Amino acid sequence: MPFTPVVLWTDALVFLLVFLMSVFIWYMRGNEHLLAPWRRVGHSASGMSALTVLIFFIIVGLLDTLHFRPALEHKNSHGETIYSVEVLSVLDLLLTPLRTNVEKTYSAPLATHLYAKETFNLPDGNQIRTFARLEYGGSHLTDPDAEHQSDINLRIAKGIGLGLLFWIILHALLCLNMARRTQQRFTLCVQSVWRRTTEIPWHAILITLGVILVAVGILSMLAAHYHVLGTDKVGQDVLYLSLKSIRVALIIGTLTTLIMLPFALLLGIAAGYFRGWIDDVIQYTYTTLNSIPSVLLIAATILMMQVYIETHAEYFETIAERADVRLLCLCIILGITSWTGLCRLLRGETLKLREMEYIQAAHAFGVSHWRIISRHILPNVMHIVLIATVMDFSGLVLAEAVLSYVGVGVDPSMISFGTMINAARLEMAREPMVWWTLLSAFGFMFILVLSANLFADAVQKALDPRVKTRTLNNASAQKNNPAPIPASASIPSPANKSI
The pLDDT of residue 255 is above 80? yes
pLDDT tens-digit readout, 34-87: 788 788 888 888 889 999 999 999 999 999 999 988 888 777 666 677 778 888
Q: What is the average pLDDT score of the chain?
A: 83
The pLDDT score that the predictor gives to residue 24 is 84
The pLDDT score that the predictor gives to residue 233 is 86
The pLDDT score that the predictor gives to residue 429 is 75
pLDDT tens-digit readout, 274-310: 888 888 998 888 888 888 887 788 888 888 888 888 8
Residue 20 burial by Cβ neighbours in a 10 Å radius (0-12, 13-18, 19+): exposed
Closest-CA residue to 213 (of 157, 155, 159, 172): 159
Query: CB–CB of 373/359 below 8 Å?
Result: no
The pLDDT score that the predictor gives to residue 156 is 94
pLDDT, mean of residues 184-189: 86
The pLDDT score that the predictor gives to residue 54 is 93
The pLDDT score that the predictor gives to residue 303 is 82
What are the Cα distances from residue 460, in Å, to 378, 435, 452, 476?
18, 37, 12, 22
CB count within 10 Å of CB 421 equals 19
Report the distance separating Cα 103 and Cα 135, nearest Å.
6
* 3-state SS assignment for residue 131: strand
Report the distance separating Cα 148 and Cα 137, nearest Å.
11
The pLDDT score that the predictor gives to residue 405 is 75
Percent of the residues in the chain that have a pLDDT greater than 90, as a whole number: 19
**Length of the chain as a residue count:** 499
Whether omega for the bond prior to residue 432 falls within 30 degrees of 0, making it cis, is: yes
The pLDDT score that the predictor gives to residue 166 is 94
The pLDDT score that the predictor gives to residue 212 is 94
pLDDT tens-digit readout, 420-475: 888 887 777 777 788 888 899 899 989 998 898 888 888 878 776 555 544 444 44
Query: CB–CB of 47/55 below 8 Å?
Result: no
The pLDDT of residue 153 is above 90? yes
CB count within 10 Å of CB 312 equals 9
The pLDDT score that the predictor gives to residue 77 is 67
What lies within 8 Å, CB to CB, of 67 at 6+ separation is: 5, 6, 7, 8, 11, 87, 88, 89, 320
What lies within 8 Å, CB to CB, of 9 at 6+ separation is: 324, 325, 328
Longest CA–CA span in the chain (Å) reads 103
Report the distance separating Cα 421 and Cα 43, nearest Å.
37
pLDDT tens-digit readout, 321-360: 888 888 888 888 888 888 888 888 899 989 888 888 888 8
The pLDDT score that the predictor gives to residue 392 is 80
Report the distance separating Cα 242 and Cα 223, nearest Å.
13
The pLDDT score that the predictor gives to residue 485 is 38
The pLDDT of residue 493 is above 70? no
pLDDT tens-digit readout, 96-114: 888 888 888 888 898 888 8
pLDDT tens-digit readout, 368-386: 888 888 888 888 888 788 7
Closest-CA residue to 246 (of 451, 392, 41, 45): 451
Buried b (16+ CB within 10 A) or exposed e, 319-329: ebbbbbbbbbb
The pLDDT score that the predictor gives to residue 466 is 54
The pLDDT of residue 477 is above 70? no
The pLDDT score that the predictor gives to residue 488 is 36
The pLDDT of residue 476 is above 60? no
Better-predicted residue by pLDDT, 470 or 311:
311
The pLDDT of residue 227 is above 70? yes
Report the distance separating Cα 377 and Cα 393, nearest Å.
25
pLDDT band of residue 33 (cuts 50, 70, 90) is confident
The pLDDT score that the predictor gives to residue 467 is 54
The pLDDT score that the predictor gives to residue 315 is 79
The pLDDT score that the predictor gives to residue 1 is 60
